[in-house]
Chains A and B, each alone.
Chain A
Amino acid sequence: MIEVKHLTKVYGEARGIEDINFTMERGEIMGFLGPNGAGKTTTMRILTCFMPATSGTAKVAGYDVFEDSLNVRRRIGYLPETVPLYTDMQVPAYLKYVAGLKDVPWKKIKSRVGRVMEQVGLSHMAHKYIGELSKGYRQRVGLGQALINDPEVLILDEPTIGLDPQQIIEIRSLIKGLSGDRTIILSSHVLPEVSMLCGRVIIIDEGKLKAIDTPENLVAKLQASDSVKARISGPADSVISALKGIEGVKKVESSGAVGSSGEYVVEFVRGFNGSHLLARVAVERKWDLYELTPIKMSLEDIFIHIVTDEDSSL
Chain B
Amino acid sequence: MRNFFFIFAKETKSYFNSPVAFVVLTIFSALTGYYFYNIFASFSTLSFQAQTNPALINQYGAFNVTEFVIRPFFGIVSVVMLIIMPMLTMRSFAEEKKTGTMELLLTFPVRDSEAILGKFAGCMGIFAIMLGLSFPAMLLVEYFGDPEWAVIATGYIGLIMMGAAFISLGIFMSSITENQIIAAVLSFASLMILYMVGYTAGLAGEMVGRVLEYISFSFHYEKFARGVVDTSDVVYYLLFTIMFLFLSMRSLESKRWRG
Contact residues of A with B, CB < 8 Å?
9, 11, 16, 45, 48-52, 70-71, 73-74, 76, 78, 80, 82, 84-89, 93, 97-98, 100-103, 145
Contacts and interface: CB of A to CB of B under 8 A. Distances in A.
A84 B99 contact: yes
B109 A74 contact: yes
B108 A80 contact: no
Contacts of A48: 107
Interface residues on B, range: 20 to 34
Contact of A50 (B3, B10, B17, B106): B106
Chain B at the A interface: mostly helix, strand, loop or mixed? helix
A202 B55 CA distance: 92
A145 B104 CA distance: 10
A283 B3 CA distance: 78
A88 B109 contact: no
Nearest to B118: A101
A103 B101 contact: no
A11 B111 CA distance: 25
A114 B111 CA distance: 27
Contacts of A100: 2-3, 5-6
Contacts of A74: 109
B103 A84 contact: yes
Contacts of A70: 109, 111
B104 A102 contact: no
25 contacts: A9-B259, A45-B103, A45-B259, A50-B106, A51-B258, A51-B259, A52-B256, A70-B111, A73-B108, A80-B103, A80-B104, A84-B104, A86-B101, A88-B17, A93-B13, A97-B9, A97-B10, A98-B108, A100-B2, A101-B3, A101-B6, A101-B7, A101-B105, A102-B109, A103-B2
Interface string B98-128: 0111111111111100000000000000000
Contact of B101 (A49, A78, A84, A93): A84
Contacts of B109: 70-71, 73-74, 101-103
Interface of B: 2-3, 5-7, 9-10, 13-14, 17-18, 99-111, 256-259
B17 A89 contact: yes
B6 A97 contact: yes
Contacts of B106: 49-50
A82 B2 CA distance: 28
A102 B100 contact: no
A49 B107 contact: yes
A225 B233 CA distance: 80
B14 A89 contact: yes
Given A50-B256, A52-B257, A101-B3, A85 B108 contact: no
Contacts of A87: 99
